[in-house]
Amino acid sequence: MRRLQAFLRSRALEIVLMYGAFQFLVILPAANWLSRHPLISVLIGFALIATVTVVIEWRERSRGRTYPFIADSEAFGVARKAIVFVISPGSFENSVIKAVLDHQPTAVVIGLLQTSGSVESGDEYERRVLAMGKEVVRETVGDETSIRFLHESTTTLLDTIMTRHRLARGEVVVDLTHGTKIMSVAVFMAADDAGVDAQYVHSEFHDGGRLGGTERGLLLRSSRLER
């Protein structure tokens, strides 16, 4: 009902004009016939209301984006050929990267999106990933507080990986687990614009540390990726 009210307020002039045209072109010429068939007149009215409702719903769905969350275990159940890890200063945790690669063993390319202050963490990521026999592609963000720079760097890294290895969008995922808040927001926006899914590894904690073996992957599907 709220959508209908908003639509009526925003399209009042168009509705009046369409109603006048409908009256002039349809109702008046058929007035005598409709007066003898009141039931049909009522059905036409209901049909018009239903048509307007369907049009409003279609417009809302076509304009809006939806980000359907999948059950925690689903993220690790999707085969990927490339995983891009977002790295912030001091964010390295081997339990997370090991969990991701254990559950997504088909990945052959690992992208590392690092800030200028997280090079050391990026080095540690690269050493562990190379030891697992994966290829590494790194991209450094010039300004880790700028959503625009973060977006551009993510787009560059994704484009490099997908072009070099001829990967489809559905074969790539961006892991947001170790990004700062602003990094995660900007990188997710870039990934979604590129039609690439994102994921977050959720773990149980004890005494300030992650409990190994409790990692679960939460998948956030791209609104631009056809399924």
Classify residue 93 as left (phi > 0), alpha (psi -120 to 50) or beta: beta
Q: What is the pLDDT of residue 226?
A: 55
Domain ranges of the chain: 2-63, 72-220
Q: What is the pLDDT of residue 227?
A: 47
We find that the CATH architecture of domain 72-220 is 3-Layer(aba) Sandwich (3.40)
**What does the block give as tokens for 195?**
């039609």
Low-confidence ranges of the chain (pLDDT < 70): 1-31, 33-34, 37-38, 41-42, 45-46, 48-49, 52-73, 90-95, 142, 208-212, 224-227
Q: What is the pLDDT of residue 158?
A: 92
Q: What is the pLDDT of residue 6?
A: 59
Cα 10 to chain centroid distance, Å, stands at 29
For residue 203, give the nearest of 112, 80, 81, 75 by alpha carbon: 75
